[in-house]
C-alpha cells in the first residue's frame, strides 16, 4: 500500500519533469476512446500541439475544422495567425466557434506567424492561439512550448500542406496530430452524410501513437464515433439487463 | 505685383513677379485677389496638421506653397508607400487644391521634383536615385534667389548636372556658399532637418539630456520618464492616449520620430513603454541624442473599466494590449475579426471589422454548408458532368484527377446585378450552381458552375473550384 503511494508520487514527479501532465486542466474530446488514451484524460492545455492535414486542400480544411471544434469548447478569445487570407469564417461558426471570438492576424510569412503566435501566447486568458506555418523548427517549437506553459494558453501549430511522407523535424510539441478526410457513410441519396475524418495521433508525450475514425465536429464542436464502426459488445451485454 | 497665378493665367503669359497692370494687359479677363501671406501660412499649417494626424508625425509647412512630410517608416499603416501617396493625393485633390507630390531621399530633392516635374500624380524617386534625378533638373530647382539663378544662367549653367561637375571655388567666390549649401542639401551631403509642427494642445513632455545618449536602453529609460510625465497630464484631463509620437533630437540636428497607436485609449505606462520599446531599434542615434520629446497626438476620453478584483482571471482578458502590439508590428489592417454581410456570392458574405470593435451578437447563417478553406479567386477545373443539374462525376484540378463518389447540390446563388465592379455587371443574370462533392478518399470540395446549365445568358457553363470542406 505504502509503496504504491510512493510509486504514484514518483510517477507524478516524473510526469511533471517531463511536462506530460501540465499544471493546467486537460481538455477532453468527449470521446472516451480518445480521452482514455491521452495522458491526463484529454488534450493538455497550456501546451503546444501540432496539427497537420496533408498536401490535399480537403485534409487541411478538415484539420481547420478539427481545430475550430477544439477551440469552440474553450472559453475566451482565439487568435488565429495566418500567412494569407484563406480561412472562411462561416465554417468556424458551423463548428461552434463563433467568429466574434476569433481575431485573425495576417502575418504574411512563417517567421512572422511564429513571432505573432509567441506574442499571443504571452497573454493569459485566451482560449488558444493557432499559428499556421509551413515548417516548424525545433527551436521555435521550444519557445512556443515554454510560452504556452507559462501563460496556460493552449497553442496549436497548424502545419499547412504538410506531406505525410516527409519526416517532420523534432519538436517540443506535446502531441502531433494528422487529420485526413475519410469516406463518409453512403446514404444512397443525392446528399452527403456527416463527414468522417481519420485523426491520427502521430506522436504524444506519455502515450502511444494511435489513430481513430471519427465523425466530424457538430455545431458545438464535438466529435462523435461513427455508429457503424463502434465496438458493440458492451452495449449487447447491457441489453438483457435492460430487458 | 503678381504673387502667384493659376494654370489658366500662366497659359496666357502671366508669371509671378509681374506688375498687375502688365498682367491685365496680357490677360484682360484677369481676376485679381489681394495676397494674404499670413492667411496662406495659416492655411498651410492647417493642412500640415491634418497631414500630421493622418500620415506622419513629422510635418512642417514650407511657405509659400509647400508642406513637408517625413514619411519614413509611415507606410505600414497604409500597406505601402504607394498606397499612402495615393490616399494623400486623392484626399487633398478632392478639396480642390492643385497639388504635386514628390517623394525622395532628401527634402531638397523632393522639393525640386515636386515643383519641376509636373506629372500630375505622386512621383517617387527610388532610394539612391535622387542624384540622377536632380542632375536633369534646371538650376531654378535648387531653391536659390531669383537673381542668383539669372546670373548662373548667364554664365551658362542650365542644369544641375553642370553645377555638380563645375569646380566649386569660383562659384563660391562669386555667389557665396548658398549655391553649394542648397546643392549639398538636395544631394544629401549635408543634413537638412525638418522642424516638425505639432498641434499646440496635445499633452507633451520634453527632456533635455546632459550627455548625448546612444544606446537603446538609455532611450527606453528616457521614454519611460516621458511617458510618466505625459500620463500625469492625461490624468488631469481624464483622457487616454490613442497615439504617441516620440521625437529624438539628434546632435546633428535631425529629428527622427516614431509613432505608435493603440486600439483603445490607455494610460497604462507599462503598455505604452512596451509599444515604444518595440520600435526603438528603428531609430539611428547617429552621434547621439541630446533631447527627446513625447507628444500624445491623439487622445480620447478614457472609459472606466472594472478591474479584476478577485484576481482569479475569470473576467475576460484585456487583449487591447496584445492587439496594439501586433498591429504596430504587422500593420493595423492585418488584424481583424469577421462579421457576416449580406452578399450574393459567398466571397462577399464576410466582412472584415477592426479587431476590437464591439462584438455585437452577430448571427451567421448556419443552415448552409460552407467550406473552411476558400480559394480566392476560384480556380478553373475541368469537369465531366451531365447537364443541366447533375453533379460532376469527375474533375481535374492542378493536374490531379478526382473521382467524385457522392455529391450534394446544386445550391443556386445569384449575383448582385447592381454591382459594377464585379463580373456580375457584364452578366446581369449571373448564376452559380454550387455542388458539394466528396471524392475518393473522403475529401470534400466545393465546385460551382457558372450558369444554370440551360441558358447561355446565365453564364458560360465553366466550372470552378471554390474551396474545401471539413
CB contact under 8 A, A94 and B329: no
Q: How much is the pLDDT for A207?
A: 85
Please classify residue A135 by burial: count the beta carbons closer than 10 Å to its beta carbon, then call 0-12 exposed, 13-18 middle and 19+ buried: middle
Domain spans in chain A, listed from the N-terminal domain onward: 48-184+192-210
Minimum distance, in Å, between the CA of residue A77 and any CA atom of chain B:
8
Which of A64-73, A163-172, B359-368 shows the lowest mean pLDDT across its residues? Answer: B359-368
pLDDT greater than 70 at residue B303: no
Minimum distance, in Å, between the CA of residue B379 and any CA atom of chain A:
13
CB contact under 8 A, A184 and B406: yes
CB contact under 8 A, B316 and A76: yes
Question: How confident is residue B309, by pLDDT bands cut at 50, 70 and 90?
Answer: very low
Minimum distance, in Å, between the CA of residue A208 and any CA atom of chain B:
25
- Phi then psi for A206, rounded to 5 degrees? 85, 15
- Residue A60 sits at the chain B interface (C-beta within 8 Å): yes
Picking from A86, A94, A195, the nearest residue to B374 by CB comes out as: A86
Q: How much is the pLDDT for B391?
A: 86
Q: How much is the pLDDT for B317?
A: 66
Q: How much is the pLDDT for B163?
A: 84
Q: Write the pLDDT tens digit of every residue in B123-169.
A: 888 888 888 888 888 888 888 888 888 888 888 888 888 888 888 88
Q: How much is the pLDDT for A18?
A: 63
What separation, in Å, do the N-terminal and C-terminal C-alpha atoms of chain A show?
41
**Which chain A residues in 170-189 lie under 8 Å from chain B, judged by CB atoms?**
180-184, 186-187
Residue B266 CB: number of other CB atoms within 10 A?
21
Over residues A164-171, mean pLDDT = 73
Q: How much is the pLDDT for B302?
A: 74
Question: How confident is residue B428, by pLDDT bands cut at 50, 70 and 90?
Answer: low
- Residue A113 sits at the chain B interface (C-beta within 8 Å): no
Picking from B366, B373, B468, the nearest residue to A94 by CB comes out as: B366
Chain A residues within 8 A of B334 when measuring between CB atoms: 105-108
Chain B residues within 8 A of A62 when measuring between CB atoms: 443, 469-470
Minimum distance, in Å, between the CA of residue A55 and any CA atom of chain B:
12
pLDDT greater than 50 at residue A23: yes
Residues A201, A179: Cα–Cα separation, whole Å: 9
pLDDT greater than 50 at residue A239: no
Over residues B327-350, mean pLDDT = 82
Q: C-alpha grid cell for residue B227?
A: 511617458
Question: How confident is residue B11, by pLDDT bands cut at 50, 70 and 90?
Answer: confident
Half-sphere exposure of A234 (CA within 13 A, CB side): 2
Over residues A102-121, mean pLDDT = 91
Q: Write the pLDDT tens digit of every residue in A116-161.
A: 999 899 888 889 999 999 888 889 999 999 899 888 899 999 999 8
Over residues A42-50, mean pLDDT = 89
Task: Tell me what the pLDDT averaged over chain B comes to.
Answer: 82
CB contact under 8 A, B470 and A197: yes
Q: Are A112 and B330 in contact, with CB atoms under 8 Å apart?
A: yes
Domain A48-184+192-210 class, CATH top level:
alpha beta
Picking from A58, A99, A115, the nearest residue to B364 by CB comes out as: A99
Over residues A103-111, mean pLDDT = 90
pLDDT greater than 70 at residue A186: yes
Q: A105 Cβ partners below 8 Å, 6+ apart?
A: A79, A80, A81, A82, A116, A120, B326, B330, B334, B335
Q: How much is the pLDDT for B114?
A: 86
Amino acid at each position: 500500500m505504502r509503496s504504491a503511494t510512493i510509486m504514484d508520487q514518483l510517477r507524478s514527479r516524473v510526469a511533471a519533469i517531463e511536462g506530460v501532465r501540465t499544471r493546467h486542466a486537460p481538455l477532453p474530446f468527449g470521446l472516451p476512446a480518445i480521452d482514455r488514451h491521452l495522458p491526463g484524460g484529454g488534450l493538455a492545455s497550456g501546451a503546444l500541439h501540432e496539427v497537420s492535414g496533408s498536401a490535399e486542400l480537403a485534409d487541411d480544411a478538415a484539420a481547420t475544422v478539427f481545430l475550430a471544434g477544439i477551440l469552440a469548447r474553450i472559453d475566451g478569445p482565439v487568435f488565429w495567425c495566418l500567412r494569407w487570407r484563406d480561412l472562411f469564417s462561416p465554417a468556424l461558426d458551423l463548428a461552434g466557434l463563433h467568429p466574434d471570438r476569433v481575431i485573425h492576424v495576417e502575418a504574411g510569412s512563417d517567421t512572422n506567424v511564429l513571432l505573432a503566435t509567441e506574442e499571443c501566447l504571452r497573454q493569459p486568458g485566451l482560449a488558444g492561439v493557432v499559428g499556421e506555418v509551413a515548417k516548424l523548427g525545433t527551436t521555435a517549437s521550444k519557445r512556443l512550448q515554454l510560452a504556452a506553459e507559462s501563460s496556460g494558453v493552449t497553442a496549436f501549430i497548424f502545419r499547412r500542406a504538410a506531406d505525410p511522407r516527409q519526416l517532420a523535424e523534432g519538436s517540443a510539441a506535446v502531441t502531433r496530430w494528422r487529420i485526413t478526410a475519410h469516406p463518409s457513410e453512403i446514404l444512397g441519396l443525392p446528399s452527403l452524410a456527416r463527414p468522417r475524418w481519420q485523426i491520427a495521433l502521430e506522436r504524444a508525450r506519455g502515450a502511444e501513437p494511435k489513430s481513430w475514425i471519427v465523425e466530424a465536429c457538430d455545431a458545438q464542436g464535438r466529435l462523435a464515433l461513427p455508429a457503424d464502426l463502434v465496438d458493440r459488445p458492451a452495449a449487447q451485454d447491457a441489453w438483457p439487463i435492460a430487458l | 505685383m503678381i504673387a502667384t497665378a493659376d494654370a489658366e493665367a500662366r497659359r496666357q503669359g502671366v508669371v509671378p513677379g509681374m506688375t498687375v497692370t502688365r498682367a491685365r494687359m496680357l490677360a484682360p479677363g484677369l481676376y485679381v485677389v489681394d495676397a494674404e501671406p499670413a492667411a496662406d501660412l495659416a492655411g498651410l499649417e492647417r493642412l500640415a496638421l491634418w497631414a500630421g494626424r493622418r500620415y506622419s508625425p513629422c510635418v512642417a509647412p514650407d511657405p509659400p506653397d509647400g508642406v513637408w512630410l517625413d514619411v519614413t517608416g509611415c507606410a505600414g499603416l497604409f500597406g505601402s508607400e504607394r498606397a499612402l501617396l495615393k490616399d494623400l493625393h486623392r484626399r487633398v485633390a478632392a478639396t480642390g487644391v492643385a497639388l504635386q507630390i514628390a517623394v525622395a531621399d532628401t527634402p531638397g530633392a523632393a522639393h525640386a521634383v515636386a515643383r519641376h516635374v509636373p506629372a500630375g500624380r505622386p512621383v517617387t524617386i527610388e532610394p539612391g536615385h535622387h542624384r540622377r534625378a536632380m542632375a536633369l533638373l534646371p538650376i531654378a530647382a535648387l531653391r536659390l534667389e531669383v537673381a542668383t539663378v539669372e546670373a548662373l544662367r548667364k554664365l551658362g549653367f542650365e542644369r544641375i548636372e553642370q553645377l555638380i561637375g563645375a569646380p566649386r571655388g569660383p562659384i563660391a567666390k562669386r555667389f557665396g556658399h548658398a549655391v553649394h549649401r542648397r546643392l549639398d542639401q538636395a544631394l544629401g551631403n549635408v543634413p537638412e532637418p525638418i522642424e516638425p509642427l505639432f498641434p499646440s494642445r496635445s499633452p507633451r513632455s520634453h527632456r533635455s539630456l546632459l550627455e548625448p545618449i546612444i544606446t537603446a536602453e538609455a532611450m527606453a529609460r528616457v521614454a519611460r520618464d516621458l511617458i510618466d510625465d505625459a500620463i500625469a497630464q492625461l490624468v488631469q484631463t481624464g483622457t487616454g492616449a490613442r497615439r504617441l509620437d516620440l521625437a529624438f533630437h539628434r546632435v546633428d540636428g535631425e529629428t527622427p520620430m516614431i509613432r505608435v497607436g493603440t486600439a483603445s485609449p490607455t494610460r497604462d505606462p507599462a503598455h505604452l513603454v512596451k509599444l515604444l520599446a518595440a520600435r526603438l531599434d528603428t531609430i539611428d542615434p547617429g552621434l547621439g541624442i541630446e533631447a527627446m520629446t513625447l507628444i500624445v497626438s491623439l487622445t480620447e476620453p478614457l472609459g472606466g473599466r472594472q478591474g479584476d478584483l478577485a484576481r482569479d482571471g475569470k473576467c475576460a482578458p484585456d487583449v487591447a494590449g496584445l492587439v496594439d502590439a501586433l498591429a504596430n508590428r504587422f500593420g493595423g489592417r492585418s488584424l481583424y475579426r469577421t462579421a457576416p454581410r449580406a452578399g450574393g456570392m459567398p466571397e462577399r458574405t464576410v466582412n472584415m471589422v477592426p479587431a476590437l470593435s464591439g462584438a455585437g451578437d452577430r448571427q451567421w447563417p448556419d443552415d448552409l454548408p460552407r467550406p473552411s478553406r476558400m480559394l480566392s479567386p476560384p480556380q478553373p477545373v475541368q469537369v465531366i458532368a451531365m447537364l443541366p443539374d447533375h453533379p460532376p462525376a469527375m474533375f481535374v484540378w492542378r493536374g490531379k484527377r478526382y473521382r467524385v463518389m457522392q455529391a450534394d447540390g446544386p445550391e443556386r446563388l445569384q449575383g448582385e446585378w447592381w454591382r459594377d465592379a464585379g463580373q456580375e455587371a457584364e452578366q446581369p443574370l449571373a448564376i452559380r450552381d454550387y455542388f458539394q462533392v466528396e471524392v475518393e478518399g473522403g475529401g470534400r470540395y466545393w465546385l460551382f458552375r457558372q450558369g444554370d446549365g440551360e441558358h447561355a445568358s446565365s453564364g458560360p457553363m465553366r466550372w470552378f473550384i471554390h474551396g474545401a470542406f471539413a
